Structure 1
C-alpha cells in the first residue's frame, strides 16, 4: 500500500494514546475550510463539545491529530491555535478522504507504536467511517444515519451536531 498522507513527527513526549479529530463539520461548524484557512476569529466557529473533548485529550497527554481533506495551508491556523501535534491533510496524489483517512490514521498509530484500542476518533459523516474504524473509541458527532447504525451496533459514544455557521 502506497500512502503519501502527510504525517509529521509529533512533538509530544511518548504519548500513550491518540485522539483524531475530523475538522470540517466536527471540530469546526463549517462544511469545508476556505483555501486560505478560516481566518480569525475562530472562536464562534468551534463546536464546543468536540473542542472540550480535544482539550481533555491534550490534558491527558494524548497525541492530538487533526484530520482534513483540506490542504496544509488551510488547516494551519486551526492547528496552531489548538496546539495540535499532527495534521493529516490532503496532498497531491493523496486525498485525505474516505479510506485515505483510515490508512493515514493506521500509519500514524504504527509510527508511534500506539494501540488502536487506546485511541479515539471524532467524526461526523459516513465517509469518515474508515477513520472511526481504526480506533477502539470512536465518537459519532451529529446524526449521520450510517454512523448512527454503527454507533448503535458498536456502542460508540455520540455527541450532538454543530450548528452550521458561515465565516
Structure 2
C-alpha cells in the first residue's frame, strides 16, 4: 500500500463528506512512539496500547463514511501495519526532506483536503500536544486529547471538543 496522502487505501465510491485526522503517538496510541515493526509477519500486538475513546471516535468516523487519516512523524514502514489494521484511508507520515511535525502536519492536512475537495469546516482532527496545533487549526472540529496546557487554552477560547488523555503504559 502506498502510504502517500494522495493515495487513499480504499477506492472511494463518492466524495467523502469529511475527513478525520488522527495523530497517532500519544493520541490514538497511549505510547510516545510507534513500536518497531518486525522484519516479517504481522506488527506487534497493540491491544493494550490503544486509547479507547480516540479509537472509538476513529471507528465512528469510518462508519459515517469519513476519510480516516493517520498522522505520524514515523516512517511509512513503521505505520503500515497500524494503517492496515485500522483500515485507514490515508496516512500522512515523514518522508525524506519532509518531516511530519508541527507546521508540516498542518500543510499536509490542508493539501489532503484540497486534493479531495473537502471543506475544512466539516472535518475533524484529534491531537494531544502543542506541536499539533497547526493540524488542529486546519479543521472545523478540532479535538484536544489530554491535558496539554497550550491546547487547553485554545480549546477554551475556541470551544473545541476534548477527550481525556491516555493512561501512560509501557510498550
Q: Give 1:8 shift.
A: 3.0
1:91-120 CA distance string (max 9 Å, x none):
010000000000000000000000000000
Q: CA RMSD in A?
A: 1.5
1:60-109 CA distance string (max 9 Å, x none):
00000000000001111110000000000000100000000000000000
Q: Give 1:35 shift.
A: 4.0
TM-score (norm 1): 0.94
> Matches of residues 151-166 of structure 1 in structure 2 within 5 Å?
151-166=155-170
Q: Are the aligned partners of 1:22 and 1:67 in contact in 2 as well (CA < 8 Å)?
A: yes
Q: Give 1:39 shift.
A: 3.1
Q: Give 1:34's aligned residue.
A: 35
TM-score (norm 2): 0.91
Q: Are the aligned partners of 1:7 and 1:87 in contact in 2 as well (CA < 8 Å)?
A: yes
Q: Give 1:19's aligned residue.
A: 20
Structure 2 gaps of 5+ residues are none
Structure 1 gaps of 5+ residues are none
Residue 83 in structure 1 maps to residue 87 in structure 2: yes
Q: Give 1:112's aligned residue.
A: 116
Count of matched residue pairs:
163
Q: Give 1:166 shift.
A: 1.9
1:16-56 CA distance string (max 9 Å, x none):
10000000000000101134379331111100000000000
Q: Are the aligned partners of 1:35 and 1:71 in contact in 2 as well (CA < 8 Å)?
A: no
| Matched residue SS, 1:161 | coil
* Deviation >6 Å, runs of 4+: none
Question: CA–CA distance in 2 between the matches of 1:67 and 1:35?
Answer: 17
Residue 6 in structure 1 maps to residue 4 in structure 2: yes
